Structure 1
Amino acid sequence: MKLTVFAATGGIGRRIVDLALDAGHEVTAVARNPRDLPAAVRAVRADLSAADPAALESAVAGADAVLSGLGWRSRSDAGIAVKGTGAIVAAMRTTGVRRVVVVSASPVATVASPGRPSPPKYDPGDGFVVRTVLAPFMKSLLRKPYQDLALMEDVLRDSGLEWTVVRPPRLLNKPVTGRYRVAYGHNVRHGMSIGRADVAHLMLRTVDDPDSVRQTVGVAY
């Protein structure tokens, strides 16, 4: 397949690139600073915090699917998920590319947004400790990043594209295992963590999964 990967040098994006190349896919990698990407990819430089959709059209044109690992690295990235995803969606519409898989976060399941003003108080997959301690703490600590991701999900729901949102819990730096649990429409029951490489593995696997289209997908060990 021809794949375009956004935020291709990030923690999840780079792992998507590596796994996609290992699987024999043709990869276009979009990053703010693409100089460290493998020589086998077609590299495109773009700052998604202020991206012009027209500048992204050449990166997505002809792709079978788009995958995005876009998210916050620091406070200077405020709003990057919704801004960058909006530009990606606009470029996809212009070029006729339909399939997009993005990463979000499991606490976003209960974060309100204009497109989803009354989310559930608790996600069905969250256990007692997550509901009462971890989720409230993390949403307080990372309120702005999670709000950004919730707005990003609104953009996708309104896009008309064949989108999938992958919502992992705490991310780890571990080698890919391919052994993880998946839940459609809610978080994984008692799921506490997942390796970034396994999130990338699931995102690639999800591209061809019709059951995941216009769905949120929880993933965890």
Structure 2
Amino acid sequence: MKLTVVAATGGIGRHLVGQAVAAGHHVTAVARGPRDMPAGVRVVAVDLTRPDMRALASAVRGADAVLSALGPRNPRADAGITSQGTRAIVTAMHAENVRRLVIVSAAPVGPVPVPGQPTAPRHDPGDGFFMRYLGTPLTHAMFGRHYADLAAAEQILRDSGLEWTVSRPPKLTDKPLTGRYRTALNRNIRGGFSVPRADVAHHMLAVIDQPETIKQVIGIAS
């Protein structure tokens, strides 16, 4: 397949590029300053804080899927980049008639809206007592602007008309790829406190060809 990876030099992005190349895909890497990419990877420099839409459109042109690992380097200082960048990616994909998009969000974002339900549940159905009353409130107190931005990015996808999937991991680690992780549609993973970045990338690549994940939020954890 032809895949475009956005934020290709980040923690998850590097794994996406490496695993996609190893699987034999044709990869275009998009980043502010793409460097040290594997041989054969097409590189397109785009700063998603000030996106060059012509360059971004060229990066997604002809792609079977776009995978975005976009997120702030400093969640407290750089909040806003994910929704801004996601909006630019969606615009570029519409311009080039590319349909499939998979992005990374985060487990503490909150309950997933359910069609036909006037109000979202107060708590994520996958969260246990600790996460509901201590873990999630604490992370929101520390990084509330960041999670609000991720929620805005998810809403951009819901409004996009694209074939999107959102991956919501908890705490990310740099442990090696295991290929063993738990997933759940539209809810967090009970007792899932962390997951390797490499496993998140592995799952993002896997869902590209899983139609049942289209327009779904997927919790993932070890």
Q: Which bracket does the TM-score occupy, shorter chain normalised?
A: over 0.9
Task: Name the residue aligned to 1:203.
Answer: 204
Asked if 2 retains the 8 angstrom alpha-carbon contact of 1:4 and 1:59, the reply is: yes
Provide the C-alpha distance between the structure 2 equivalents of 1:14 and 1:160, rounded to a whole number of angstroms: 28
Post-superposition Cα deviations, 1:88-134, rounded to whole Å, max 9, x if no partner, equal 0000001000000000000112499xxx9954221111111111111
Report how far residue 39 of structure 1 moved: 2.8
Q: Secondary structure at the match of 1:50?
A: coil
Contact 2:44 2:55 in 1 (8 A): no
How far apart, CA to CA, are the structure 2 residues paired with 1:181 and 1:111?
18
Matches within 5 A, 1:109-120: 109-110=110-111, 118-120=119-121
Q: Please state how far the C-alpha of 1:53 moved relative to its aligned partner.
A: 2.8
2:134 alignment partner, SS class: helix
Distance of 1:60 and 1:219 partners within structure 2: 26
Tell me, yes or no, if the aligned pair for 1:101 and 1:166 is still in contact at 8 Å: yes
SS of the residue corresponding to residue 194 of structure 1 reads strand
Structure 2: segments with no counterpart, 5+ residues: none
Aligned position for 1:8:
8
What amino acid maps onto 2:71 in structure 1?
G
SS of equivalent to 1:24: coil
Aligned residue for 2:62? 62
**Identical-pair percentage:** 58
Confirm or deny: 8 A CA contact 1:109 1:120 kept in the other structure: no
Residue 109 of structure 1 contacts residue 119 of structure 1 at CA under 8 Å; is this kept in 2? no
Give 1:76 shift. Answer: 4.6
Change (3 A) 1:211 1:108: same
Q: 2:181 and 2:118 mapped to 1: Cα distance?
A: 31
Matched with 2:172 is 171
CA contact under 8 A between 2:60 and 2:98: conserved in structure 1?
yes
Task: Show the counterpart of 2:20.
Answer: 20
Task: Return the letter of the residue paired with 2:78.
Answer: D
Alignment of 1:24-103 (within 5 A): 24-74=24-74, 75-103=76-104
Shift of 1:185: 1.1
In the alignment, the residues of structure 2 paired with residue 80 and residue 55 of structure 1 have an alpha-carbon distance, to the nearest angstrom, of 18
- Give the secondary structure class of the aligned counterpart of 2:44: strand
SS at match of 2:164: strand
Contact 1:66–1:100 under 8 Å retained in 2: yes
Q: Please give the alpha-carbon distance, in whole angstroms, between the structure 2 residues aligned to 1:132 and 1:77.
A: 27
Q: Distance in 2 between matches of 1:14 and 1:2?
A: 17
Gap regions ≥5 residues in structure 1: none
Amino acid aligned to 1:201? H
Moved more, 167-176 or 52-61: 52-61
Q: Deviations over 1:62-93 (max 9, x none)?
A: 00000000011124533110110000000000
> Displaced runs of 4+ in structure 1, greater than 6 A?
none
Amino acid at match of 1:127: G
